[in-house]
Structure 1
Amino acid sequence: MAQAVEAVPGALGGVPVVTVDVAGGRRDRVVLYFHGGGYAMGSAAASAGLASDLARHAGCRIVSVDYRLAPEHPFPAAPHDALGAYRALLDSGVPADRIALAGESAGAGLALAALAAMAAEGLPRPASAALFSPWVDLTMSGASMTGKAAADPALTPRALHRRVVDYLGAGDPAHPLASPLFAGLASLPPLLVQAGSHEILLDDATRLAARAAAADVDVTLQVTPGVPHVFQGFAHLLDEGAAALAAAGAFLRAHFPADLPPLL
Structure 2
Amino acid sequence: MSDAEEQLDLTEIGAIRALLASRPRPVGWDERRARLDEVGSSWPVAGDIRCEAVAFDGLAAEWSLAPGSDGDKVLLFFHGGGYCSGSVKSHRRMVTEAGRAMGMRTLAIDYRRAPEHPFPAQHEDALAAWRFLARQGVAPDRIVVGGDSAGGNLSLSLVGRLRAAGERLPYCLWLVSPWTDLSMSGATLATKDGVDPIIHGAYLEELAGAYVPRDVERRDPLISPLFADLRGFPPMLIQVGSAETLLSDATRLAEAAGAADVKLRLEIWPHMIHAWPVWNAQLDAGRRALASAGNFVRDQL
Q: 1:115 to 1:121 in 2, by over 3 A?
A: same
Q: Distance in 1 between matches of 2:282 and 2:77?
A: 22
Q: Distance in 2 between matches of 1:177 and 1:80?
A: 12
What CA deviation, in whole Å up to 9, does each residue of 1:196-249 have, x standing for no partner? Answer: 010000000000000001111001100011111111122233322211110001
Show the counterpart of 1:115.
159
TM alignment of 1:179-190, pairs within 5 A: 179-190=224-235
Alignment partner of 1:244 is 2:289: yes
Q: Measure the CA separation in 2 of the matches of 1:131 and 1:124.
A: 20
- Please give the per-residue CA displacement for 1:112-140, whole angstroms capped at 9, x wherever unaligned: 11111111111111110110000011001
Q: In structure 1, how many angstroms separate the alpha carbons of the residues matched to 2:127 and 2:225?
A: 14
Task: Find 2:66's aligned residue among 19, 22, 32.
Answer: 22
- 2:170 aligns with 126
Aligned positions, number: 255
- 2:37 counterpart residue number: none
Q: Work out the percentage of aligned pairs sharing the same amino acid.
A: 41
Equivalent residue letter for 2:254: A
Instruction: Name the counterpart of 1:259.
Output: none
Q: Deviations over 1:69-119 (max 9, x none)?
A: 111110011111112211221232111111111101111111011111111
The structure carrying a bigger helix percent of its residues is: 2
Code of the residue aligned with 1:15 in structure 2: it is L
- 5+ residue gaps, structure 1, are 257-264
Alignment RMSD: 1.2
* Match for residue 249 of structure 2 among 177, 199, 204: 204
Residue 215 of structure 2 corresponds to residue 166 of structure 1 = no
TM-score (norm 1): 0.93
In the aligned structure 2, how far is the partner of 1:121 from the partner of 1:103? Answer: 22
Q: Which residue of 1 aligns with 2:114?
A: 70
Q: What is the DSSP-based 3-state SS (H/G/I as helix, E as strand, rest coil) of the residue aligned with 1:172?
A: coil
1:246-261 paired onto structure 2 within 5 Å: 246-256=291-301
Please say if residues 3 and 56 of structure 1, whose CA atoms lie closer than 8 Å, have aligned partners that are also in contact.
no
Greater Cα radius of gyration, structure 1 or 2:
2
TM-score (norm 2): 0.82
Q: Is the 8 A contact 1:133 1:194 kept in 2?
A: yes
1:261 aligned residue: none
The question of 1:57 aligning with 2:101 is answered: yes
